């Protein structure tokens, strides 16, 4: 993302809307500038702010008059008065930032928008997590901190050492040069993204080990981690395996995403051989 200096009037509205705090007003040029290293290309500034198309010279003049008179105009806080934001053409590896940060862009690896994962949300269709298993999502960087892929790799290495397999249809896995060891491609390691989610599936009895490992790695990296644990319920709709393990580990289970089990794959025509047998 770029801010056109010919249009920017330094109103400062955009400095508040950036989730990474990467925009500030340059005191010398009196224009909003983006810290390119901290910007994660989430497009919150471009997509989230409304735009006016006012004349920049006129707006600067009015602002200067108001400033001299110490009068405060009270404009809408989510508007760029001169439509100064201009998306630039992202090339590899910087394009990784947008793929992991702008939720409107579907991940190429999964085709899913948002963070690119389906987790247990489609478990009724995919059957990915069975009874006695746990699907664990370890998300880095959110809310409002961000993460370098290098830090994600620290966790991936530890998980791989613990013998855990990574979900194949996952954007982070798709960036790995060696899935067995959890190694991420060298050329993207310094890229900063708003959020990256590592997905794994383990047996329920491994949940404790993974959570302890996550806690250990958290202390080594400079970002926020949020963990989700998915479980298949039994025929009565109860989770009698994973939930009790989490409670025993001292987790205060408050919020959850509950799959109602209404999904099903689209019926495909039965093969002729099957029909004949029937």
Partner 1 sequence: MTNTLHRYGDAASFHDDFIFIAIPSRGRNDQDCVPKLQQFLRMALSFGPVNLGDARHGGALQPSKSMNPLCHWNRDNQLNFESVISGIAAPATVAAVFDDAVKAENFAKAVVEADLGLSVNISTSIEGAEDCCEAAAICRHSVGYSLGFMDNGDQLPSRDLLQISTMCGHGMISNSLTRKMIDWVKEGRRTPDEAACYLQRFCSCGIFNPSRASRLIASAARGAR
Identified binder of partner 1 from the candidate list 248, 255, 273, 277, rule CB under 8 A: 255
Least spacing, CB of residue 276 vs partner 1, in Å = 26
| 79 interacts with partner 1 by CB under 8 A | yes
Identify residues 7-46 at the interface with partner 1 (CB under 8 A): 15-19, 21, 42, 44
Q: Interacting stretch for partner 1, rule CB under 8 A, among 60-68, 155-163, 174-182, 250-258?
A: 250-258
Nearer CB in complex with partner 1: 178/256: 256
Identified binder of partner 1 from the candidate list 62, 125, 179, 189, rule CB under 8 A: 125
Nearer CB in complex with partner 1: 159/211: 211
Residue-wise burial string across 228-266, b where 16 or more C-beta atoms lie within 10 A, e elsewhere: bbbbbbeeeeebebbbebbeeeeeeeeeeeebeeeeeee
| 74 interacts with partner 1 by CB under 8 A | yes
Identify residues 83-112 at the interface with partner 1 (CB under 8 A): 83, 101-104, 106, 110-112
| 170 interacts with partner 1 by CB under 8 A | no
Identified binder of partner 1 from the candidate list 30, 64, 212, 222, rule CB under 8 A: 222
Long-range CB pairs of 56-63, under 8 A, 24+ apart, other chains included: 56/6, 56/7, 56/8, 56/9, 56/82, 56/84, 59/9, 59/11, 60/9, 60/10, 63/9, 63/10, 63/11
| 223 interacts with partner 1 by CB under 8 A | yes
The values of phi and psi at residue 92, to 5°, are: -65, 140
Identify residues 47-66 at the interface with partner 1 (CB under 8 A): 47-54
Identified binder of partner 1 from the candidate list 10, 176, 229, 241, rule CB under 8 A: 229
Least spacing, CB of residue 178 vs partner 1, in Å = 25
CA dist 51 and 78 (Å) reads 9
| 174 interacts with partner 1 by CB under 8 A | no
| 264 interacts with partner 1 by CB under 8 A | yes
Q: Interacting stretch for partner 1, rule CB under 8 A, among 25-33, 135-143, 151-159, 269-277?
A: 135-143
CA dist 66 and 241 (Å) reads 65
According to DSSP, the residues that pair with 198 across neighbouring strands are 138
Tokens 């205060």 sit at which residue?
252
CA 198 to chain centre: 11
DSSP H helices, 102-166, are 123-126, 149-161
CA dist 42 and 90 (Å) reads 12
∠ at Cα 81 (75, 85), nearest 5°? 130
| 192 interacts with partner 1 by CB under 8 A | no
């Amino acid at each position: 993302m770029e801010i056109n200096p010919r249009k920017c009037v330094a109103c400062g509205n955009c400095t508040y809307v950036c989730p990474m705090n990467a925009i500030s007003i340059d005191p010398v040029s009196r224009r909003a500038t983006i810290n390119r290293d901290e910007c994660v290309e989430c497009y919150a500034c471009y997509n989230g702010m409304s735009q006016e198309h006012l004349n920049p010279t006129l707006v600067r003049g009015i602002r200067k008059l108001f400033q001299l008179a110490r009068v405060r105009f009270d404009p809408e806080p989510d508007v760029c008065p001169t439509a100064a934001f201009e998306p630039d053409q992202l090339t590899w590896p910087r394009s990784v930032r947008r793929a992991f940060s702008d939720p409107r862009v579907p991940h190429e690896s999964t085709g899913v928008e948002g963070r690119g994962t389906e987790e247990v949300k489609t478990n009724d269709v995919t059957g990915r997590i069975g009874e006695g298993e746990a699907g664990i999502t370890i998300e880095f960087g959110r809310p409002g901190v961000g993460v370098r892929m290098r830090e994600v790799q620290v966790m991936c290495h530890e998980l791989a050492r613990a013998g855990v397999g990574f979900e194949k249809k996952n954007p982070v896995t798709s960036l790995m040069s060696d899935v067995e060891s959890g190694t991420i491609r060298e050329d993207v390691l310094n890229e900063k993204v708003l959020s990256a989610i590592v997905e794994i599936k383990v047996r329920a009895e491994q949940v404790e080990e993974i959570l302890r490992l996550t806690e250990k790695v958290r202390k080594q990296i400079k970002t926020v981690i949020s963990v989700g644990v998915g479980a298949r319920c039994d025929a009565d709709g109860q989770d009698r395996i994973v939930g009790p393990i989490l409670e025993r580990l001292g987790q205060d289970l408050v919020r959850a995403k509950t799959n109602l089990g209404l999904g099903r794959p689209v019926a495909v025509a039965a093969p002729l051989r099957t029909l004949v047998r029937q």
